[in-house]
């Protein structure tokens, strides 16, 4: 059966952005047609940062990745990921430029994303979590404020749980709220805890919408820690931080990997201060959510097809088997 002819099934909402959402969405679309990606809008680095600064455009980068993940047109997908290597456009992905052009042409970033989705022939839809022009801020214990997701993603918190906020306070996109309220399963995708997931959850109105939604809420925990930010954090620590940003205990399930990767791969990551996220059975057993430990590490090394591919551009030797995660999410829905 063609993917675009799948029968109507559960309404699944995936919250996040970046490569974590990309990986999950591209496999989840094989199992469900009514799929919505809600994307954080705080990105301000690289091509996205330039377009924000020079054009006053909303950040297209993470939105582009989610659109590409849901695309059913390989050729157009490759076009969206094509990154110029020289000239005044060096470093820009074509999809970022197109999204910004559509925003300028229509006067609406929401319409730009919808139009790009039509061009890419996507399964489901992609929605910005907010349509406000916002930046991620970190407030240090001494009151010092750092404003920039790009800067914060490389900061060392030295074991302190960071105080994050969006500036100015962001309003929840009404279409995103409707998607949350109508969902039958809400998934917090794996991703950078503080600069990918937090900016999506900190939008004003998200916490209230998640509390009111009847859907089961599932968090897919990261596989490895991020040096200087999540060192030593266990699965329950990650879940606790997610719920801190959700403003209370709202998770119903936490999915995590409970099989150690090959020692050779662990060594590769250890050189950069990244280690597999440990699981804490005693704490997880007492949690208000149901913790499900599974073998979720992909056994095949990613063979990135092109330099413009958002995953090929990063080290992904230890990565989720997205198909296993997708199938587990479907089990949770039908449980």
Q: What are the structural domains, with CATH classification, of the chain?
A: 3-131+174-334 (3.40.50.10680)
pLDDT at 313: 40
Determine if residue 213 is left, alpha or beta; phi over 0 gives left, psi from -120 to 50 gives alpha, anything else beta. beta
Q: How far apart are CA 180 and CA 178, in angstroms?
A: 5
Residue 309 reports pLDDT greater than 50 = no
pLDDT reported for residue 262: 76
Identify the DSSP state of 317. Answer: S
**Residue 88 CB partners (closer than 8 Å, separation 6+):** none
Is residue 316 scored above 70 in pLDDT? no
Contact 94, 80 (CB under 8 A): yes
Q: Which residues are within 8 A (CB) of 291 and not within 5 positions of it... i.e. 6 or more apart?
A: 235, 236, 253, 254, 256, 279, 284, 285
Between 194 and 2, name the one with better pLDDT. 194
Q: What is the pLDDT of residue 269?
A: 73
pLDDT of residue 314: 42
Name residue 47's beta-bridge partners: none
pLDDT at 306 over 70: no
CA 334/CA 267 separation, integer angstroms: 38
* Average pLDDT of every residue of the chain: 91
Q: Are 285 and 247 in contact (CB under 8 A)?
A: no
Give the per-residue pLDDT at 266. Answer: 77
- Average pLDDT over every residue of 255-284: 86
- Helix (H, G, I), strand (E, B), or coil: what is residue 35? strand
pLDDT at residue 260 in the model: 83
Specify the pLDDT at position 2. Answer: 45
The pLDDT of 106-132, averaged and rounded, is 97
pLDDT, mean of residues 26-41: 95
Report whether pLDDT(9) > 70.
yes
Q: Is the pLDDT of residue 211 over 90?
A: yes
**In the structure encoding, which two tokens stand for residue 299, read together?**
């056994």
Among candidate residues 127, 97, 133, the one with its CA nearest the CA of residue 114 = 127
Helix (H) or strand (E) holding 137, with range, is strand 135-139
- Please compute the mean of the pLDDT values over residues 40-55 and round it to a whole number: 94
Place of tokens 């430029």: 97
């Amino acid at each position: 059966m063609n993917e675009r002819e799948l029968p109507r099934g559960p309404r699944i909402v995936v919250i996040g952005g970046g490569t974590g959402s990309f990986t999950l969405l591209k496999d989840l679309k094989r199992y469900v047609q009514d799929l919505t990606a809600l994307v954080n809008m705080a990105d301000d680095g690289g091509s996205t940062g330039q377009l924000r600064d020079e054009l006053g455009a909303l950040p297209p980068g993470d939105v582009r990745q989610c659109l590409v993940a849901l695309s059913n047109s390989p050729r157009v997908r490759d076009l969206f990921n094509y990154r110029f290597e020289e000239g005044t456009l060096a470093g820009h992905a074509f999809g970022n430029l197109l999204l910004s052009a559509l925003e300028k042409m229509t006067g609406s970033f929401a319409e730009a994303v919808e139009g790009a989705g039509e061009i890419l022939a996507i399964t489901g839809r992609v929605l910005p979590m907010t349509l406000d022009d916002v930046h991620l801020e970190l407030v240090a214990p001494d009151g010092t404020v750092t404003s920039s997701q790009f800067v914060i993603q490389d900061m060392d918190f030295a074991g302190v749980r960071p105080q994050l906020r969006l500036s100015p306070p962001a309003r929840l996109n009404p279409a995103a709220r409707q998607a949350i309220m109508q969902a039958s399963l809400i998934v917090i995708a794996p991703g950078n805890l503080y600069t990918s997931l937090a900016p999506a959850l900190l939008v004003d109105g998200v916490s209230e919408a998640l509390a009111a939604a009847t859907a089961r809420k599932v968090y897919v925990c990261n596989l490895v820690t991020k040096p200087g930010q999540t060192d030593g954090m266990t699965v329950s620590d990650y879940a606790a931080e997610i719920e801190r940003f959700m403003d209370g205990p709202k998770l119903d399930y936490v999915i995590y990997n409970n099989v150690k990767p090959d020692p050779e791969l662990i060594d590769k990551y250890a050189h950069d201060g990244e280690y597999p996220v440990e699981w804490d059975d005693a704490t997880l057993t007492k949690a208000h959510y149901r913790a499900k430990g599974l073998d979720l590490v992909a056994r095949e090394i990613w063979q990135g097809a092109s330099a413009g591919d958002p995953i090929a551009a990063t080290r992904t030797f230890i990565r989720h088997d997205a198909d296993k995660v997708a199938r587990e999410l479907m089990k949770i829905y039908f449980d």
